[in-house]
Amino acid sequence: METLIALGYPGLFIASFLAATIVPFSSEAVLGAMLLGPFSAFWCLFWATLGNWVGGFTSFALGWAGRNDKVERFLHISPQKVAKVDPYIKRWGVWLALFCWLPFVGDLFAVALGFARTNIYLTSIFMLAGKALRYVAVYYFVYALA
């Protein structure tokens, strides 16, 4: 984690990207450390959000491509797990993209939204908004405790 913080904004982007994939990683810890350091809060939020969105959108794209083998190989999500959230996708549609930041189920939502071929523009906007709101909440949490 120290290495990523030492890399500055590119390190935060990498941490956030990895956290949006199956890598068990806390981008919030890297973001919090950087917010308490000499880094700009705006740029920290920007790079964390962008990295996490690109990671989440990668999962969405794998689902969109319909490649079960790639989803299982890279994300370790079985087709059975994706099928379990299908009723939620049918009911809530692109609105579930707001929750792609959630631990454990966020990747599943992103892949399932891709398999369901939801509107790519709305999905990307809602996914970006959800991830940005999460990092803004981290920002306020860090400064409330500081």
Computed over every residue of the chain, the mean pLDDT equals 89
**Percent of the chain clearing pLDDT 90 (strictly above):** 55
Alpha-carbon distances, residue 118 vs 74, 91, 97, 110, 123 (angstroms): 21, 12, 10, 10, 7
Q: What is the mean pLDDT of residues 11-38?
A: 90
| Residues composing the chain | 146
User: Model confidence at 16, in pLDDT bands (50, 70, 90)?
Assistant: very high
Residue 42's domain spans which residues? 2-145
Q: What pLDDT sits at residue 57? A: 93
Q: What is the mean pLDDT of residues 12-37?
A: 90
Q: What is the pLDDT of residues 110-137, one digit of tens each?
A: 988 998 899 999 999 999 999 999 999 9
Both tokens of 106, joined, read: 């966020």
d(CA 45, CA 31): 8
| Residue 97 φ/ψ, nearest 5 degrees | -60, -25
> How many distinct structural domains can be found in the chain?
1
Cut 0.95: pTM above it:
no
Sequence-separated (6 or more) residues with CB below 8 Å from residue 141 = none
Query: Of the given ranges (57-61, 63-67, 71-75, 129-133), which has the lowest mean pLDDT?
Result: 71-75
**Which of 17, 16, 20 has its CA nearest to residue 102?**
20
